[in-house]
Amino acid sequence: MTPDIKARKRELRSELIAARARLGSAERQAASAAIAARLAALEPFRSAETVGLYAPLGTEVDVSAIAIAVLARGGRVAFPRSVAGARRLEFCACNVGELVRGPLGAGEPPPGARQVPLSEIQCFVIPGVGFSRDGLRLGRGGGYYDVTLKQATGAVRIGVAFDLQLRPELPREPHDVPLDAIVTERDTLRFQRPVTT
C-alpha cells in the first residue's frame, strides 16, 4: 500500500466512523430495519440456505432482524470468529443471543460452536466503514474479510451500510474484494463481479 493510499484510507475511516456515530440510536435502529427489509427482497439473499452474518461493532448496522428472517424461513446463520495467528475468519453456526466478546472486541460464536465450511455459505452479509458506488468496501484495515472472501469464491457478497457511508469511489488496491451488492436504508446497488479463473 502506498503511503498516499494508506493515509487516504485512514482519513476516510475517521470521517465515516464519526459520521455514523452522529446517528441517534432510534435513527440507527429504523435504518437497520429498513436495510433488513430491502435485503429480504434481494433474491441471492432470499434463496441462500446458509447466510454468513456478523455481530455489529459500535454503530454498525444491526443485523438481528436479518438473522431472525433467515431462521424464520428455515435457513441457517453463521457468525465469524477470528482465527488465532491468522488474518482470516472462520464462521460458526449459532444464534445472536449466544455470541460472546471476542479478542477483537466484536461478538463471536462461543467456544464449541460448530464451524461451518465456507463452501456451505451461499451469501455473506458484510459490514464496513465505507462503501463505494462501484462495489468496493473500506473495512477497519485488518484485511480479515478480504482474505476470507477470496476463499469463498462462489458465495454472494452483500455489504450493508447506512446511506451516509456511501462514497462515489474509494481508494482501490489489488487485494480489495469486490461486492455483488450494497444495501442501505435508501437503495440497493447491484454489481457485475469480474469473472476470475
pLDDT tens-place string over residues 84-128: 777 789 999 999 899 999 887 789 999 999 999 999 999 999 999
Domains, in order of start, for the chain: 3-190 (3.40.50.10420)
pLDDT the model gives residue 195:
57
pTM of the model: 0.92
166 Cβ neighbours under 8 A, 6+ residues apart = 130, 131, 132, 133, 182, 184
Q: H or E element: which one contains 80?
A: strand 76-82
Exposed e or buried b per residue across 136-162, where buried means at least 16 C-beta atoms within 10 angstroms of its C-beta:
bbbbeeeebbbbbbeebeebbbbbbbb
Sign of CA dihedral 134, 143, 163, 10: negative
177: pLDDT strictly greater than 70? yes
- Backbone φ, ψ for residue 138 (5° rounding): -110, 110
- Given a contact cutoff of 8 angstroms between Cβ atoms, the answer to whether 147 and 111 are in contact is no
pLDDT interval class at 176 (50, 70, 90)? confident
Share of the chain above pLDDT 70, in %: 96
